[in-house]
Amino acid sequence: MRLRSLLLRWLLLPLVVLWAIGFWIQYLRSIDQVNEAYDRTLLGSALAMAEGVSIRQGELSVDVPYSALEMLDTQSQDRIFYKVSSTVDAHMSTGYADLPAPPVAPRSDQPVFHSARYLDEPVRLVALLKPVYEGSAGPLLVQVGETMAGREALSHRILIDSAITQLSLIAAAALLIVFGVRRGLEPLRRLRKEVHARQPNDLAPIDAGAVPREVTPLVEAINAHTERQRQLNDAQRQFIADASHQLKTPLTVLKTQAALALVQADPQAVLRIVKDMHDSTDVTSRVIQQLLTLARSEQGLTLPVEPADVVEIARAATFDLLPQALKKGVELGFEGQGAPPVDCHPLLLRELVSNLVDNAVRYAPVASAVAVSVRHDTGARCIEIVVEDDGPGIAPADRAKVFDRFYRVGGSTSDGCGLGLAIVKQIVERHSGHIAVDHGSNGNGTRMTVRIPMTRLGATKGVMGSNPASRARSQ
């Protein structure tokens, strides 16, 4: 359904209904006004007739003046009826003897108007008392009536004139409404043309100042949706770029090793090459896993949010890496205090702890220690995750760069690909948290501190930190 048709329907239909109601009210008022005017004339005729009524020698005498009948003369040629009778002597009367009596007796100062049927016609009558001071006839009842053709003709004429005037005004109002609706919807038509003329890859926000205020929430919602689409597109392009950049080298190495194995005649040499290919496959598999995790942690992607125990998540992630630490000769410890559940992405938080611990174990020297702790900071209303190692540490100049994608500290001998801390940074920002890098408690090594606020994130429906300016830098 078109918006213009909907607006016109809701504006014009009520206007027609109001006109019909007003037409009926005007019809009733016109009848009352006509009756009031005719009743005054009828009363004047009755008063003039009453002036010519008298008792002469015990007989009722009525001298009907011409002015009394002239008052009731109309173009409709209404028929006039009258009756004068004694309120005491029922036999003393003149005029139309069977003229209907009033429903209530009039008082000396109060005439009575009423409607009735007489000679199969609707008539309007007035009755009043005429005091006499001759004889014993008592007050005289003067009744004057007329048919209602003139009243009906006048009320119909008033009604038709009023209807024509109202219909003319309604027609003018309808034209103005149609013109106003077209003018009011013009910004939307311009907006439609602007959006239609855009290129498929143009995801710039729509100017909300160019539309009416009532449409601004809709434009803002469209802009928010467009921004999420832009972030998804950027994440997809970044993932493709990262994958092509990072997988090119290991795949080339695997191909070279396979080609070298094909030309070897010594089975032991082939076995060594296959072992190297197995190790290269492990490295490549880890790179692919980290790229997928990095893609899932991108801003704008919708993931389920649920209450979770961060202590248990961190403990499980730490224990998963215990074999790796033991193989390298690194002592891995965990300490966790009770903390209330937090609305979060459990899988992403587990990946965050895994990457922090894996990074610490990889860079820690043999026979050193890595400590993981989780606590509830009631003052700051946050959950604090700390991973500390006895490794070489990170120079202050490099601390801002370690969260960039594929960045590795100079002189590092680790086989990492430089994505772990980039993943950590993005997951922290998705939870509206903060991560800090510092030296260890003994002045050596590295201390990574992550703070996740205790805010209720469920209302965001999995989309957190959607501001593109806060997107994580890649490592």
Q: Which CATH architecture has domain 3-156?
A: 2-Layer Sandwich (3.30)
- What's the half-sphere exposure (Cβ side, CA atoms, 13 Å) at 177? 19
Separation CA 371–CA 117 (nearest Å):
111
pLDDT-above-90 percentage for the chain: 16
Distances (CA, A) of 247 to 109, 234, 290: 114, 19, 12
Q: What is the pLDDT of residue 385?
A: 94
What's the CA dihedral at 53, 57, 59, 61 to 10 degrees?
-30
Indicate if the pLDDT at residue 458 is higher than 90: no
pLDDT in tens, 410-456: 555 555 556 778 888 888 988 889 999 998 877 788 999 999 998 65
Separation CA 126–CA 144 (nearest Å):
6
Q: Which CATH architecture has domain 221-295?
A: Orthogonal Bundle (1.10)
Indicate if the pLDDT at residue 55 is higher than 50: yes
In the three-class reduction of DSSP (H, G, I as helix; E, B as strand; rest coil), residue 96 is classed as coil
One of 1.10.357.10, 3.40.50.720, 3.40.190.10, 3.30.565.10 is the CATH number of 301-470, namely 3.30.565.10
The residue ranges of every structural domain in the chain are 3-156, 221-295, 301-470
The pLDDT of 462-471, averaged and rounded, is: 38
The pLDDT of 331-359, averaged and rounded, is: 88
pLDDT in tens, 230-284: 877 776 676 666 666 556 667 777 888 888 888 888 888 888 888 888 877 876 7
Given a contact cutoff of 8 angstroms between Cβ atoms, the answer to whether 449 and 384 are in contact is: yes
Average pLDDT of the residues of the chain = 79
pLDDT in tens, 169-214: 888 888 888 888 888 778 778 888 888 888 877 778 888 777 777 7
Helices and strands (DSSP H and E) totals, the chain: 10, 14
pLDDT-derived band at 28, boundaries 50, 70, 90: confident
Q: What is the pLDDT of residue 461?
A: 38
This model's pTM is above 0.75: no
pLDDT-derived band at 76, boundaries 50, 70, 90: low
Separation CA 11–CA 209 (nearest Å):
26
pLDDT in tens, 16-27: 888 888 888 888
**Element (H or E) spanning 288, and its range?**
helix 267-296
Q: What is the pLDDT of residue 230?
A: 80
**Element (H or E) spanning 61, and its range?**
strand 59-62
Q: What is the pLDDT of residue 67?
A: 60
Distances (CA, A) of 426 to 139, 194, 404, 450: 109, 35, 11, 12
pLDDT-above-70 percentage for the chain: 80
Q: What is the pLDDT of residue 333?
A: 94
Separation CA 181–CA 178 (nearest Å):
5
**Nearest-CA neighbor of 440 among 397, 402, 391?**
391
